[in-house]
Structure 1
Amino acid sequence: MWWIKASIQEYVLKSWSLVKIGTTAVQKKLFFSLGKIKQKISKLYSRAVTEHDFSQIADELGVSKNEVSEMSSRLAGPDLSLNNLVNNSENTSSELIEFLPETRPNQEIKLIGKQDSTKKQNLLSQALKLLNDRELRILTERKLKDSPTTLDVLSIEYNISKERIRQIENAAFEKIKNFMLEHMPKCV
């Protein structure tokens, strides 16, 4: 019987509101005991519970006064439906849900982005074919690798200065950039 009661309480705690109310043991204790203790205080003193009573509740439950205050304000607030009507400035009614921004990506935009990405990759492949073997190798080693090869290593490999490697890299990059800019409007 105890496990069934615990399971029911866990379900109530999780589905009480769309916003999760209690996650720690202290918050769970407050969630299930605060109402009972408030009723007891109300009957004992024949008045509504005030903030002055929070210290007594905190002592009884073994929690801090701030935690009691926070849980009391959370439980006192009404649940709002996203389907509640809101009057906006044009004297028309809208539901609250209409004011929430959409965070999921639009399926059409995703599809267009994927097609656009494929076109750009094809265009880059065509642009790389414009380069000779040395330009392609230097550009690949310097710009298209996760850890680029140093100018020093490439200058030793090609038996030319580091400055000349940098010039070849920049010239190859410019060729590709110009080709992409020239052909980009056609694929968009």
Structure 2
Amino acid sequence: MARSQHVPIPSAEGGLTRYLEEIRRFPMLEPQQEYMLAKSWREHGDRDAAHKLVTSHLRLVAKIAMGYRGYGLPISEVISEGNVGLMQAVKRFEPEKGFRLATYAMWWIRASIQEYILRSWSLVKMGTTAAQKKLFFNLRKAKSQISALEEGDLRPDQVKHIATKLGVTEQDVVDMNRRLSGDASLNAPLREEGEGGGEWQDWLVDDHLDQESVFAESEEMENRRGALAGALSVLNERERRIFEARRLSEDPVTL
């Protein structure tokens, strides 16, 4: 949806309070006003009407966004993503169906915010299915309801309870709980500062061969090639063809 007029944009520099004060200046719409504006936008592409529909619902976005403050992301960005969802809702809103824009827009606002959180919260993608997303956004609440607030793995009975409550597998609960512990750096110390012990990366095991082993294998292969070439050089042409067909071919010839 094109923006023909100014829509307030929350920013860390401007401050949340200033943004909230600014959006309170936009009047709420009566049902009939909302209906006529939506009809004008939908049937005639009236951008002024669309602008009024958006700005009159910015407070709704802010209210919903506040419910997602516990994910460690800038609230200004969460609100901005919610505003994108609101604009999508206005673009698709059909007033003839009889419900208010706020009712319709809530789904779009939440969906936009949740997608942003899933993209941004972790370096590892948190989930793609509806069940995984539901688990991501409800696991903390489910844990608090059974007083499972400590860090670390859940007890088997807690895992089973949450899995049943949220309709997901127990393994999904275990995996998501570990991911929600946060992204850990390999440069993080194994112990508290001053206690020694090195970093986590010091304990990583590299399954590849070291340089000495690689060089030794390469040298051994060269020696074998030289020995084979020497052996072939003493054979006549017929013997060489037979040997190559029986020993060196990918599909050895059998008698």
Please give the TM-score of this superposition, normalised by the length of structure 1: 0.50
Higher relative contact order structure (alpha carbons within 8 Å, sequence separation ≥ 6)? 1
More helix, by proportion = 1
